Chains A and B, each alone.
Chain A
Amino acid sequence: MTAAKRNKTPSNALIPQKGFARFKKNFLRDRQLYLLIIIGIAPFILFHYGPMYGVQIAFRNYRIADGITGSEWVGWKWFEEFLTDPNFKRIFLNTLIISLYSLVTFPLPIIMALFFNAMRKQRYKGVAQTISYMPHFISMTVFVGILNLILSPTSGIYGNLFRLFGGNGYPADFRTLAGSFRHLYIWSGVWQGMGWQTILYTSALSSVSSELHEAACLDGASRFKRIIHVDLPAIMPTIAIMLILRMGGLISVGFEKAYLMQSPLNLSTSELISTYVYKRGLSDFRRFSYGTAVSLFNTAINITLMLITNYTSKKVTENEISVI
């Protein structure tokens, strides 16, 4: 419908038509464009909207033999089970805290992109950027393996440095401490992802008109002032959109990394909704329903958060920046 609206031309406006008639006329005129959209929409219908039909098993006692629609309807049973689980509170809090914590690191790629942009030597800039992207391409399993090796108090760099600078014996093992899990999780994530996340901002920055910079220079703006008053406002819309999208995924903290970093001692902070669902919901097909219910619960929270951010952004920027 939005596409139809946008295609409204003056010639249409001359002959006032309403509702379906107008849509039909536009549709027939732009049929080739609509045909092109199908390519983009089809995967969504196939892989995102189609499977939603199966979400109903969150309200059923799913058994494969009975099928999705044939399984017994149990209503909110699985939601109740999850919400009354004594572990629920801690797991939910763990997930929430780690999400909010990761949100704190949101500005870092922006700062880095601004730095990259302010670099004078193009060659150094290229090298620095490439190096910073690299960790992104390491698979998570290998990445956590590297982390484990580096942080080993007995044989890792960390332990060796500790002894090199006069430490006696072995330092505390961060990999297994409940208190250090969150910091380790977030900051290793920053290390791995920051360079990659700068790409979007860098490309937005490259479109800043040089005239603006020249004008600012003439007015006597320093390099730092130009970053603050020229670059930053220029990429503000990108930042806002990224923030909205980030809010949408706030509670869905990645599963694999937390799962790989878990140890018996840090479970009190490292058990997240996603890992718990995996352990309890997936390996046994009788519990598919439970897993679905928890995921649905998760998604509901995510959507709510995203809508709130979107609404706020809409209000603050007067309808300029929003994803919906």
Chain B
Amino acid sequence: MKRNKKMTRAMGILLAVVMTLGLLSGCGGNGSSSGGGKKLTIGIPQSAVVTDYYNNSFTKYIEEKLGAEIEFVLFSNANEAMNQLSLMCAAGDELPDVLVGFSNMSGSLMYEYGEDGFFIDMKDLIDQYGTEFKAHMEALSQDEYDRVMDFITKPDTGAIYGLPTYSAVTISDYMQSQMMINTQWLNTLGLDAPTNIDELYDVLVAFRDEDPNNNGKADELPMLSPAIYYYVLNAFVYYDSANPYNITDGKVWAPTVSPEYRQALSYLCKLYNEGLMKFDIPANDAKSTISGNGTTARVGIWCGNPQTDMNHSAQVLDQYDVLEPLADKTGKGGYLVERPRDLLLTGHITKDCEDTALAMRFLDCCYEDGAVTRRRHGEEGTNWVWVDAAEPNIFGGMSHIKVLNSDLFGSNNVTWGSLLPNVYTDENYLTIASTAPGIDKEIARILYAQTELAQSWRKPAETVVNLKLTIDERAERENINGKISTTTSQYFGMFLSGQLDPAKDADWNKYVSDMEACGLSKLVDIYQAAYDRQ
């Protein structure tokens, strides 16, 4: 018995020691510092494709540049990261020195973080250390320069709480997504590409009924994609889903409650009910839906990103061509929503940063062309090499970089995945060589056509996109917009699924009055006031 007791006690002590050791080793983790050297903590939304942030060639590159060690605080994806950040601040946790890749940050939210002392003003730091940033900014045109600076500068105090990612490239491989039509089907059926909504309807019916892919099966989907209705809406009225407010003759109005929008809804209902349009949501479904078993196209018209939606394989893409914006019955309409060049807030220095100079040097170093190339294409030598004689790239430009193996959309440990503070230009961005497996000639052809169309197509004379709002107005806009976007999409679903009928006055009025209750007129007034000020 006595021996047993001893054994028990010994076991107890052993267990306690093991558990304590376990706890302690848990604390060590990746933070094991080499002592003495400088250290920078970077908060970054984690990318699913990056396998390792520490043993990562981009990390090594940055560490070498800075002469400092990098530690990471990994957040979830860019969407959730915003919630995590606001919770961290509310809980009083220590923030990482630098935040990068929080691309969902809105201007007014950033000001608030700055006002409350969570982000520091970088104005002086930029003057002192921001050489690369300044150089890239000065290379922009005056309009673009003003737009970016307005975006990052707090209007009343002039403080800068964040650095931007700005895309100044002429052809982007992810920005555009326009309607694409299967030209091979059109040829098979002897049809012309539709130019207005009536012709669109006829073409879709033919796609549905006449077996354009010649396989004897009724497996054709005439029109597909969750976002395609924007393009159909634009046949009736200019409708920018991100800023659904228009200006005509100096008056701001909301297209979402206009009679044209109502007509468009009826038209969409007709397409939807007759099986001419599908809403196939999951993005991972797009490829198998569009290309079926791989070589037979199943979709007549779709809209999306030919690169990501097709998962970078393009077996059937050669059948598709860009479809010009459609007109409505009267020949009016036919708008193409111009998406402004991407401008996001992606770099911030927080209150807990001790070595602000180091932090600023890090952010500035992201703007270097070399860093951009590494961020996009990976490690020099392994993934890409410099070539002396420039070769034409698939977008028609010349490139000094030859990409050997650039499929960085798959898992890798040579990039960080998330958006970093950058100014993309044709020189540092469009360096993808035609040999790169990540991008295909057909994809490039479509992207090129999409970009050309976007640049050449007529645009509304004035839009609300660049109206300057005061801080209070912005907060009000965000509040109202939150309600309005929920209401719009809920009603859109109800109209399309037949719960409500846009042609019925009662249903339509209910929708309009709900929109009003959300504060639609108030927001129109805010835009009107901003417009009148300018």
Q: Of A65, A265, A271, which one neighbours B115 at CB under 8 angstroms?
A: A65
Q: Of A64, A153, A169, A280, which one neighbours B89 at CB under 8 angstroms?
A: A64
Question: What is the 8 Å Cβ interface bit string for chain B, positions 276-318, against chain A (1 contact, 0 not)?
Answer: 0011111001001100000000100000000000000000000
Interface hits, B172-209 → A, CB 8 Å: 208
Asked if A267 and B493 make an inter-chain contact with CB atoms under 8 angstroms apart, the answer reads yes
The yes or no answer to B466 lying at the interface (CB within 8 A) is: no
Q: How far in angstroms is the closest Cβ of chain B from A260?
A: 11
Question: What is the 8 Å Cβ interface bit string for chain A, positions 266-306, against chain B (1 contact, 0 not)?
Answer: 11100100001001101111101000000000000000000
The yes or no answer to B109 lying at the interface (CB within 8 A) is: yes
The yes or no answer to B499 lying at the interface (CB within 8 A) is: yes
| Complex Cα–Cα for A190 and B494 (A) | 27
| Complex Cα–Cα for A112 and B220 (A) | 43
Asked if A65 and B117 make an inter-chain contact with CB atoms under 8 angstroms apart, the answer reads yes
| Complex Cα–Cα for A34 and B204 (A) | 76
Known: A85-B483, A87-B486, A283-B83. A266 touches B117 (CB 8 A): no
Q: How far in angstroms is the closest Cβ of chain B from A212?
A: 43
| Complex Cα–Cα for A175 and B83 (A) | 27
Q: How many contacting A-B pairs (Cβ < 8 A)? A: 123
| Least CB separation from A282: chain B residue | B83
The yes or no answer to B492 lying at the interface (CB within 8 A) is: yes
A264 neighbours in B (Cβ, 8 Å)? 226, 279, 281, 489, 492-493
The yes or no answer to A86 lying at the interface (CB within 8 A) is: yes
| Complex Cα–Cα for A148 and B492 (A) | 22
Question: What is the 8 Å Cβ interface bit string for chain A, positions 41-70, against chain B (1 contact, 0 not)?
Answer: 000000000000000000000011100000
Asked if A271 and B499 make an inter-chain contact with CB atoms under 8 angstroms apart, the answer reads no
| Least CB separation from B90: chain A residue | A64
B298 neighbours in A (Cβ, 8 Å)? 154
Question: What is the 8 Å Cβ interface bit string for chain B, positions 103-126, against chain A (1 contact, 0 not)?
Answer: 010000100100111100000000
Known: A64-B89, A177-B497, A265-B496. A154 touches B288 (CB 8 A): yes
Known: A169-B275, A283-B83, A284-B478. A263 touches B109 (CB 8 A): no
| Complex Cα–Cα for A280 and B83 (A) | 11
Q: Of A169, A268, A288, which one neighbours B90 at CB under 8 angstroms?
A: A288
| Least CB separation from A179: chain B residue | B497
Question: What is the 8 Å Cβ interface bit string for chain B, positions 226-269, against chain A (1 contact, 0 not)?
Answer: 10000000000000000000000000000000000000000000
| Complex Cα–Cα for A187 and B95 (A) | 43
A85 neighbours in B (Cβ, 8 Å)? 483, 518
The yes or no answer to B448 lying at the interface (CB within 8 A) is: no
B499 neighbours in A (Cβ, 8 Å)? 178-179, 268
The yes or no answer to A170 lying at the interface (CB within 8 A) is: yes
Interface hits, B380-415 → A, CB 8 Å: none
The yes or no answer to B501 lying at the interface (CB within 8 A) is: no
| Complex Cα–Cα for A177 and B499 (A) | 11
Asked if B109 and A265 make an inter-chain contact with CB atoms under 8 angstroms apart, the answer reads no
B112 neighbours in A (Cβ, 8 Å)? 285-286
| Complex Cα–Cα for A268 and B490 (A) | 5
A84 neighbours in B (Cβ, 8 Å)? 517
| Complex Cα–Cα for A265 and B227 (A) | 11
Question: What is the 8 Å Cβ interface bit string for chain B, positions 508-534, against chain A (1 contact, 0 not)?
Answer: 000000110110000000000000000
Asked if A154 and B281 make an inter-chain contact with CB atoms under 8 angstroms apart, the answer reads no
| Complex Cα–Cα for A176 and B221 (A) | 16
Q: Of B278, B487, B490, which one neighbours A170 at CB under 8 angstroms?
A: B278
Known: A65-B117, A175-B281, A177-B497. A169 touches B288 (CB 8 A): no
| Complex Cα–Cα for A203 and B492 (A) | 49
The yes or no answer to A168 lying at the interface (CB within 8 A) is: yes
A280 neighbours in B (Cβ, 8 Å)? 482-483, 486
B518 neighbours in A (Cβ, 8 Å)? 85-87
Interface size in chain B (residues, C-beta < 8 A)? 49
| Complex Cα–Cα for A87 and B482 (A) | 11
A64 neighbours in B (Cβ, 8 Å)? 89-90, 116, 118
| Complex Cα–Cα for A314 and B323 (A) | 69
The yes or no answer to A173 lying at the interface (CB within 8 A) is: yes
The yes or no answer to A213 lying at the interface (CB within 8 A) is: no
The yes or no answer to A202 lying at the interface (CB within 8 A) is: no
The yes or no answer to B210 lying at the interface (CB within 8 A) is: no
Q: Of B218, B281, B482, which one neighbours A169 at CB under 8 angstroms?
A: B218
Q: How far in angstroms is the closest Cβ of chain B from A171?
A: 10
Asked if B116 and A268 make an inter-chain contact with CB atoms under 8 angstroms apart, the answer reads no
Interface size in chain A (residues, C-beta < 8 A)? 38
Interface hits, A15-44 → B, CB 8 Å: none
The yes or no answer to A188 lying at the interface (CB within 8 A) is: no
Asked if B289 and A154 make an inter-chain contact with CB atoms under 8 angstroms apart, the answer reads yes
| Complex Cα–Cα for A87 and B475 (A) | 20
Asked if A148 and B285 make an inter-chain contact with CB atoms under 8 angstroms apart, the answer reads yes
Q: Of B109, B118, B475, B483, which one neighbours A86 at CB under 8 angstroms?
A: B483
The yes or no answer to A152 lying at the interface (CB within 8 A) is: yes
The yes or no answer to B219 lying at the interface (CB within 8 A) is: yes
The yes or no answer to B491 lying at the interface (CB within 8 A) is: yes
| Complex Cα–Cα for A152 and B89 (A) | 41
Asked if A86 and B487 make an inter-chain contact with CB atoms under 8 angstroms apart, the answer reads yes
| Complex Cα–Cα for A69 and B486 (A) | 32
Asked if A178 and B494 make an inter-chain contact with CB atoms under 8 angstroms apart, the answer reads yes
Interface hits, A117-173 → B, CB 8 Å: 148, 152-155, 168-170, 173
B118 neighbours in A (Cβ, 8 Å)? 64
Q: Of A155, A169, A177, A284, which one neighbours B109 at CB under 8 angstroms?
A: A284
The yes or no answer to B8 lying at the interface (CB within 8 A) is: no
Q: Of A87, A173, A177, A283, which one neighbours B86 at CB under 8 angstroms?
A: A283
The yes or no answer to B82 lying at the interface (CB within 8 A) is: yes
Asked if A173 and B109 make an inter-chain contact with CB atoms under 8 angstroms apart, the answer reads no
Q: Of B87, B90, B279, B515, which one neighbours A263 at CB under 8 angstroms?
A: B279
A226 neighbours in B (Cβ, 8 Å)? none
Interface hits, B96-147 → A, CB 8 Å: 104, 109, 112, 115-118
Asked if A87 and B493 make an inter-chain contact with CB atoms under 8 angstroms apart, the answer reads no
Q: How far in angstroms is the closest Cβ of chain B from A193?
A: 23
| Least CB separation from A66: chain B residue | B116
A279 neighbours in B (Cβ, 8 Å)? 482, 486
Asked if B116 and A65 make an inter-chain contact with CB atoms under 8 angstroms apart, the answer reads yes
| Complex Cα–Cα for A266 and B493 (A) | 6
The yes or no answer to A246 lying at the interface (CB within 8 A) is: no
Among A155, A264, A266, the most chain B Cβ lie within 10 Å of the Cβ of A264
| Complex Cα–Cα for A148 and B518 (A) | 33
A168 neighbours in B (Cβ, 8 Å)? 218
B517 neighbours in A (Cβ, 8 Å)? 84, 86
| Complex Cα–Cα for A268 and B511 (A) | 12
| Complex Cα–Cα for A176 and B118 (A) | 41
A77 neighbours in B (Cβ, 8 Å)? none
The yes or no answer to A257 lying at the interface (CB within 8 A) is: no
| Complex Cα–Cα for A173 and B86 (A) | 37
Q: A87-B490, A178-B494 are in contact. List 10 more A-B contacts (CB 8 A).
A: A64-B118, A86-B518, A169-B218, A170-B278, A176-B280, A179-B497, A266-B493, A267-B492, A282-B86, A283-B82
Q: Which 7 A-B pairs have the closest CB atoms?
A: A285-B86, A65-B116, A86-B517, A86-B514, A268-B494, A265-B493, A155-B288
Q: Which residues of B contact A (CB under 8 A)?
A: 79, 82-83, 86-87, 89-90, 104, 109, 112, 115-118, 208, 218-221, 226, 275, 278-282, 285, 288-289, 298, 475, 478, 482-483, 486-487, 489-494, 496-497, 499, 514-515, 517-518
22 residue pairs of the A-B complex, CB under 8 angstroms, read A64-B118, A87-B483, A87-B486, A152-B282, A153-B280, A154-B298, A155-B288, A169-B208, A169-B219, A169-B275, A170-B221, A176-B279, A264-B493, A265-B497, A267-B490, A271-B490, A279-B486, A280-B482, A280-B483, A285-B86, A285-B89, A288-B86
